[in-house]
Amino acid sequence: MLKMHNIRKSYRTDTIETHALRDFSLEVNEGEFVSVTGPSGSGKTTFLNIAGLLETPTGGEYLLDGQEVGNLSDRERSRMRNEKIGFIFQGFNLIPDLNLFDNIDVPLRYRGFNGKERRRRIERALEQVGLSARAKHLPAQLSGGQQQRVAIARALAGEPRFLLADEPTGNLDSLMARQVMELLEFINEWGTTIVMVTHDPDLARRAQRNIQIVDGQVSDLRQSIAQQEIATA
Amino acid sequence: MFELKPMLSALWRNKVSAMLIALQIALTLAIVSNAVTIIQERQEKIARPTGIDVENLIAVTFMPVPADYDMAGAVAADLDLMRSMPGVVDASVTNQAPISGSGSASGYFFEPNQEVGDITANYYQTDPHFINTLGLKLTAGRNFREDEMDILGPHQNYNADVAIITQQFADQAFPGESALGKYLYGGRDDHPTQIIGIVERHIGAWPGWSLAGNVVFYPVMAEGNHKRYLVRTEPGQRDEIFKQLEDKLAERDPQRVIHLETTENHMKETYSSDNLMIKVLTLVVSLLTFIVALGIVGLTIFWINQRAKQIGIRRALGASRRNISRYFLLENSIIAITGLVLGGTAAMLINGLIASNFSQPLLSLPMLITCALVLLLVSLLAALVPALRAANISPAMATRSV
């Protein structure tokens, strides 16, 4: 599903060059639920941005769903983001001026679906996250957990094959966090590949595989959770 | 693909700033469309054909010093002198200078002994050289003969036997029929003045007059305390002749005060208030349009900065750069069109007040639509650069915590 080989990403100012990712290689298979952990500034968000086609790498090779994405135009990258990738952000990233229905509608309009198809998808997505009755509410009228569920509904409505979650429970209390996590697991069971960036080792443990990023590199692909468990025992 | 409904609801939630810009556009349209209507009317007035050779005409006025001056003799000698000057096409004696803002008019009847139903026309007292001197085009009939020329003493009444009139006056006086051979009368007067010729057009002494273009020419010279000539020069010779004329006339007879003015200058002076009005209104229109464009640029930049994160989210969700710039242009168009609809209504109301109270021209619907379209274009151009800038906001903005 996702294959990164020797990905590099550096940011340059007049005087300093910062290497956010260095020779970063990773493979995520279709249907996997992978958690990504690492200390602040380790390169998690940069990885997420590159994986989600929000940024382009400075070097290396990135294949998404078998397609090399390095040379795609802005339009092609936008279309790929829209059709194949669903995003769930820490801050929910709902558009405050739009009600829930219109928020979920945003990516579907860019997809070019007709009104009937959009309505069908929006209603189903809202039903899946249990917010059908709140379709005409504004984001500000919902709790944090509800807003994150709307964001998940927005991601689900496009039926993406690949879901990228950036600290999806970071702004939620433990009860809400658990509900959101259960929802993600449920979505994964349907076959959607999920990559979730998190600080929370409990959540990371619930994924099928954990990746730790340290200093812009994958530190250990398979053993990090076990090591954490030994360390904390 | 167009997000009209969500865009309208988003605008409604930010209605204050949107309405302020819409009102600014409305006010601009109301003022601009009325100002442009006035500019256009003034320009049309200035550009009206005069029927005469404006560029090559010089008006000469002189006032003799001696009380017992031989005016008729002086005029004959001056005209001979001027007509013999190289570069002079012709010269005429006249009671008024064309397009000078100063002249004479009278009411004319078309049956004897009438008291009501006259039509007013500006009149010239001139000579058989006037057609050639002014550069008029005789379209029917004939010119005056030398033997038809009268000379009037002071306080002597004049009953003209013949006259030449403009086509415009002929059409008003005798609609649907030829005026040639017909007669003009003064009020409560039975002396007929036969129309022997018709000239294509002449605007007369007062271009701003509502009846400008109604002109009558008589073959007469009234002796008075001053006299006026019109001199037509060969093209390109006017300024040179202008320099020579005063000296030559003064040399021939130094006992008088002589003043020269080109008809082009008369025209400039006559239209000076119109030209000033055009300049002031053009400045107002340009400033208002510039200010409204600045307002739109400012508002669009403000909104883009305010919604940078939102733009990043849209980009992350699949919006291309084009989608983003189109969003802001469409949003701007909605505001502009709202303003233009309001402004169009206001423009008509303001025009109604101006037209009825200040005798200004009526605002036409095509003019209003043209001004509205120009303002819409200006507002789109003003929003274009910020909208293109918005399109460059990175989708990675969605994952930033600002």
Are the C-beta atoms of residues B81 and B249 closer than 8 Å to each other? yes
Check residue A132 and report its DSSP letter.
Answer: G
Structural tokens at position A186: 């449920």
Find the CATH number of the domain harbouring A199: 3.40.50.300
Q: Are residues B100 and B225 in the same domain?
A: yes
Name the DSSP class of B364.
P
Strands (E), B225-375: 227-233, 256-262
CB A105 within 8 A of CB A122: yes
A199 touches chain B (CB under 8 A): no
Percent of chain B with pLDDT over 90: 60
Q: Quote the CA–CA distance of A32 and A29 in Å, as a whole number.
A: 6
Stretch (H or E) spanning B216: strand B215-222
- List of chain B residues whose C-beta atoms are within 8 Å of the C-beta of residue A47: none
Task: Specify if B267 maps to a domain.
Answer: no
Query: Residue ranges of the alpha helices (H) in chain A?
Result: 44-51, 74-84, 100-111, 115-128, 144-157, 174-189, 201-206, 224-232
My answer on whether B279 and B368 are in the same domain is yes
In this structure, what token pair is assigned to residue B254? 């130094």
Cross-chain CB nearest to A87 (options B14, B310, B316): B316
User: Whats the size of chain B, residue-wise?
Assistant: 402
* B137 vs B50: CA distance, rounded Å: 11
CB pairs under 8 A between A and B: 87
Contact B319 A110 (CB under 8 A): yes
Report the number of distinct structural domains present in chain A. Answer: 1
User: What is the identity of the amino acid at A67?
Assistant: Q
Domain that holds residue B380: 4-47+272-399
How close B386 comes to chain A (CA, Å)?
A: 19
* B130 confidence band (pLDDT: 50, 70, 90): very high
Q: Which residues of B196-227 are buried (b: 16+ CB within 10 A; e: fewer)?
A: bbbbebbbbbbbebebbbbbbbbbbbbeeeeb
Considering the domain boundaries, does residue B382 fall inside one? yes
Does the distance separating the beta carbons of B1 and A112 come in below 8 Å? yes
User: Do B179 and B239 sit in the same domain of this protein?
Assistant: yes
Within this chain, do residues B123 and B228 fall inside the same structural domain, yes or no? yes
Q: Do B6 and A105 touch (CB under 8 A)?
A: yes
In the numeric block, the tokens 């306080």 are attached to: B155
Same domain assignment for residues B224 and B135: yes
Residue B192 has a pLDDT of 94
C-alpha to C-alpha distance for B394 and A77, rounded to whole angstroms: 12
Min CA distance, B6 vs chain A (Å)? Answer: 6
Handedness of CA B306, B309, B311, B313 (dihedral sign): negative
User: Is A87 in the B-facing interface, judged by CB distances under 8 Å?
Assistant: yes
CA distance A197 to A176: 17
Residues 152-191 of A with CB under 8 A from B: 154, 158, 166
Claim to verify: residue B233 and residue B356 sit in the same structural domain? no
Statement: residue A233 has pLDDT above 80:
no
- What is the model's pLDDT at position B15? 83
Backbone angles phi, psi at B64, to 5 degrees: -75, 150
Instruction: Provide the residue count of chain A.
Output: 233
Query: Which structural domain, as residue segments, surrounds residue A109?
Result: 2-232
List pLDDT tens digits, range B259-280. 999 999 999 999 999 999 999 9
B323 vs A contacts (CB less than 8 Å): 78, 110
pLDDT at B188: 77
Per DSSP, helices labelled H in B48-102 are 71-83
Q: What is the SS3 assignment for B316? A: helix
Q: Coil, strand or helix: which one is B78?
A: helix
Question: ipTM, 2 decimals?
Answer: 0.87
B394 lies in some domain? yes
- Other C-beta atoms lying within 10 Å of the C-beta of residue A208: 12
* Option in A78, A99, A105 nearest B319 (CB): A78
- Cα-based torsion angle of the residue sequence A193, A195, A200, A205 in order, rounded to the nearest 10 degrees: 50
The predicted structure's pLDDT at residue B299:
84
pLDDT exceeds cutoff 90 at B396: no
Contact present, A52 and A87 (Cβ < 8 Å): yes
Together in a domain, B86 and B212: yes
- Are residues B274 and B42 in contact, defined by beta-carbon separation less than 8 angstroms? yes
pLDDT, one tens digit per residue, over B158-205 is 889 999 999 999 999 999 999 999 999 987 788 999 999 999 999 999
- Please state the rounded mean pLDDT for residues B276-303: 91
B contact set with A (CB within 8 A): 1, 3, 5-6, 9-10, 13-14, 309-310, 313-323, 394-396, 398-399, 401
Query: What total number of domains does chain B contain?
Result: 2
Examine residue B58 and state whether it is found in any structural domain, yes or no. no
Asked if residue B396 lies in contact with residue A45, where contact means CB atoms within 8 angstroms, the answer is no
Is residue B22 included in any domain, yes or no? yes
Q: Is residue B59 part of a domain?
A: no
CB contacts of A93 in chain B (<8 Å) are: 309, 313, 316, 398
A49-98 pLDDT tens trace: 999 999 999 989 999 988 898 888 889 999 999 999 998 888 888 998 88
Tokens of A107: 């990516």
User: Quick one: tokens of B33?
Assistant: 């469309």
In this complex, do A54 and B321 lie within 8 Å of one another by their Cβ atoms?
no
Amino acid at A134: R
B2-6, B137-141, B264-268, B371-375: the lowest-pLDDT one:
B2-6
A162 φ, ψ to 5°? Answer: -140, 120
pLDDT tens figures, A9-23: 888 887 888 888 888
Residue in chain A nearest B327 by alpha carbon: A110
Residue B207 confidence (pLDDT) above 80? yes
pTM of the model: 0.74
For residue A17, the SS3 value is strand
Strand A162-166 relative to strand A85-88: parallel, antiparallel, unpaired?
Answer: parallel
The answer to whether the Cβ–Cβ distance between B9 and A87 falls below 8 Å is: no
- Residue B11 confidence (pLDDT) above 90: no
Closest CA to A59 of A15, A16, A25: A25
Residues B242, B347 within the same domain: no
Instruction: Please provide residue B57's backbone torsions phi and psi, each rounded to the nearest 5 degrees.
Output: -105, 140
